[in-house]
Amino acid sequence: MFLNIRILFVTLLFSTATFAQQTETEIEKDTTQEASGSGTKVGSVTVGAYLPIAFGENFVNDGMDLKMGAQVQLKLNVLGDFYIGPAVSFFFADVTNRNLVGNYDEMSNLVLGGLIGYEKQVERFDLSIGLGVGYSGYFNKGFGDSFEDNATALWLRPEVSYKLANYVSIYVAPELRHDFMNIDVPSELKDTFGGVNYFNVGFGLRINLGTGYKFQ
């Protein structure tokens, strides 16, 4: 867990530093941009729904009914078309097989992490692929007490966005994610509690940051 938080902080620090540099450069280049008709692409913010779909033999897929959640992601272009940024997502679930997972009722999953990736614009489309890592918390609630399971999440996230206006796009992003669970179990339960596979789908609104999006 501490490793995940450290990774997150390093990512955020790096993102902030880069963003600050980008802003300074933007002011200097503003006149040039107007003249040349290009501009600076600072990055984007995506906010949208998050549809979790677990698969394989694991306690989430076999013992829970997953509900929709949401995700927020900030992409900051750092080197040409390469970007980094923080990402947050969450979703909810009801326990359906207490015999398999234990006697509790609900679970909320929260992922805090960072993403690194590459994005390319093709006419009104922005196509990107990113690799993310972060802390994944499973917050469980039952009759007697609340308790937590946690994991290190690793995910691959291709994204396609379509520009509706200069600074506004819609996006869809399928996501392949694996949570390496930190749950202590006897060897007989390793397959069920060792890790969880997801094929998640995110979709929603994207705000494009920077004048570079205006002229293309």
Partner 1 sequence: MKPYLYKFLLFSVVLLFSSCEKLEITNNERLLVKGKIVDQNGNAIPNIPIKTEASNYILAKTRTDDNGNFELTSLNANTDPLHVLVNIATSLYFENENTEYASKVYSSEGANKQLLLDMGTVTLNGLGTFSIFLKNLPGDTNTVEYTFSYASKVCRLPLEFNSNDVCEFDQSTQDFLEVNSQNRTISGESILGTVAIFEYKLNNEPKQTIEIPVTNPPVNYVFEY
Q: Which of 38, 61, 182, 197 binds partner 1 (CB under 8 A)?
A: 182
Q: Which of 21, 25, 103, 166 binds partner 1 (CB under 8 A)?
A: 103
Least Å distance, CB 193 to partner 1, is: 6
* Binding region for partner 1 (CB under 8 A) out of 7-15, 145-153, 166-174, 195-203: 145-153
Q: Token pair 């596979």 is at which residue? A: 197
Two structure tokens written together for 145: 């007490």
Residue 2 engages partner 1 in binding (rule: CB under 8 A): no
Residue 106 engages partner 1 in binding (rule: CB under 8 A): no
Q: Which of 24, 30, 148, 191 binds partner 1 (CB under 8 A)?
A: 148
Q: Which of 27, 28, 79, 186 binds partner 1 (CB under 8 A)?
A: 186
Cβ within 8 Å of residue 135, ≥6 positions away: 1, 4, 5, 8, 111, 112, 113, 150, 151, 152, 153
* Binding region for partner 1 (CB under 8 A) out of 86-94, 102-110, 159-167, 202-210: 102-110
For residue 107, the surrounding DSSP H or E stretch is strand 106-122
Least Å distance, CB 196 to partner 1, is: 14
- As a whole number of angstroms, the distance between CA 182 and CA 195 comes to 8
CB under 8 A, 24+ apart: contacts of 187-193: 191/57, 191/58, 192/57, 192/58, 192/59, 192/62, 192/100, 193/58, 193/59
* Binding region for partner 1 (CB under 8 A) out of 24-32, 38-46, 147-155, 159-167: 147-155
CA neighbor of 110 nearest in space, from 94, 93, 123, 122: 93
Write each residue from 38 to 77 as x if it is in contact with partner 1 (CB under 8 A), else as -, in one continuous string: ---------------------x------------------
Residue 193 engages partner 1 in binding (rule: CB under 8 A): yes
Q: Token pair 């007989």 is at which residue? A: 188
Q: Are 115 and 157 in contact (CB under 8 A)?
A: yes
Residue 37 engages partner 1 in binding (rule: CB under 8 A): no
- As a whole number of angstroms, the distance between CA 1 and CA 155 comes to 17
Residues that bind partner 1 (CB under 8 A): 59, 98-104, 142-150, 182-186, 188-189, 192-193
